[in-house]
Structure formats: structure tokens, C-alpha cells
Amino acid sequence: MAEESLKQIGQRLKGLREVLDIPATDVARLCDVTPEHYEKIELGEADAGVYRLSKIAKRYGIELDVLLFGEEPRMNSYFVTRKHQGLCVNRRKEYKYESLASGFRGRKVEPFMVTVDPLPDNHRHGKSSHEGQEFDLIMEGSLEITIGDKIITLQAGDSIYFDSKEPHCMHAMGEQPCKFLCIVI
């Protein structure tokens, strides 16, 4: 499922680039990746990440939902997302992002319900960074988040707000997935 989502996102990125006649090197530079890595993103062989996709969407004047889900938001007064009914994207096998405001046009923040599956002890996610700030509220399970060199463990009910330009990564602790509300600003 994650592989199919990556392929679909890659196809939408390539389509956007072709329609707007944007060289791949320009988008790679915007995303701060090599042209070779960006080519892998368009082929669905690498994950662009929600934050890079958000950067592309803002730069080229489209909604993030168009890149993530292939759908244009339509609401501008309010938008309701029923429990477990948000549009989902699986960035990696261990990460599931459920958009909580996908139908609202012109959002100022990106709210997601994120589920992170535990990894074997010898595996770790690579750190990423992106513009803006992030707020995470743990709903279920426990999460270990690394920001720079600092490792913080969060339990259900705990929250963290941080500068997302700092390199960071996270993974579920124990044997159960961790579910948290993530708001990217």
C-alpha cells in the first residue's frame, strides 16, 4: 500500500511539473535534494515527505491535498472529518498519515492523525527537517522522538511543540503502534 501511494504521489508531481513546464532540477532545488533523488520521488521509489510536498504545493500555488490524494479541497467555511474517515497516505510502511482537514481550502496548518508502527530494535528512522513548527499530542501508546541530539519519550496525554527545522525522527516504543495528533504549522 505504501509503495502504491508513493507511485501515485510521484505521478502527480511529474504531472504538475509537466503542466507548469517546470524543470525537475528546479523542484529538486526547492526540496533540497539532488536531481537523482527527486527523479526517484517522481518514480515512486523514494518518499518526498509531507513537508517537501507542502513546500512544493505552496511554491506552485496548489493545495497539498492535490499532491497527496489527487483531490482538490472544496470547503472554505468549515470541514468535518468523521472518525477514521480522513484521507490517508502511507509514507512508509511504518507511518500512516490521516488528513483531518483535507477538504478545507486555504488551510494555514496541516493537521494529521499519525499512526507509527514499532520497529525492530536495530532499526531507526532517518532524521528529517522542514520549515515551520510542529505540535504532536500523543493519543495512544508511547513515542520516542529525537530532536537534534535530545531523545524524549512521550506517553498518552503528553505533547511536544518544536521547531521542525531541527533534524528529528520518531518511532513507537514497545510492541504497540503509537497514535498521535500532528499539526504542522
End-to-end CA distance of the chain: 27
pLDDT tens digit string along 54-103?
889 888 888 888 888 887 777 878 889 888 888 887 656 677 889 899 88
The answer to pTM > 0.75 is: no
Contact 97, 65 (CB under 8 A): no
Burial class (CB in 10 A: 0-12, 13-18, 19+), 108: exposed
CA 149 → CA 99, 126, 152, 153, distances in Å? 29, 13, 10, 13
pLDDT (0 to 100) of residue 1 = 47
pLDDT tens digit string along 105-134?
888 888 999 999 887 766 666 777 777 899
Contact 137, 152 (CB under 8 A): no
CA dihedral 137, 6, 99, 103 (to 10 degrees): 160
Using DSSP, state whether 172 is helix, strand or coil.
Answer: strand
Share of the chain above pLDDT 70, in %: 94
Spatial separation of the C-alpha atoms in residues 169 and 150, rounded to whole Å = 11
Share of the chain above pLDDT 90, in %: 42
Contact 138, 171 (CB under 8 A): no
Contact 135, 183 (CB under 8 A): yes
Spatial separation of the C-alpha atoms in residues 118 and 158, rounded to whole Å = 18
DSSP string, 136-154: EEEEESEEEEEETTEEEEE
The one-letter code for the residue type at 75 is: M
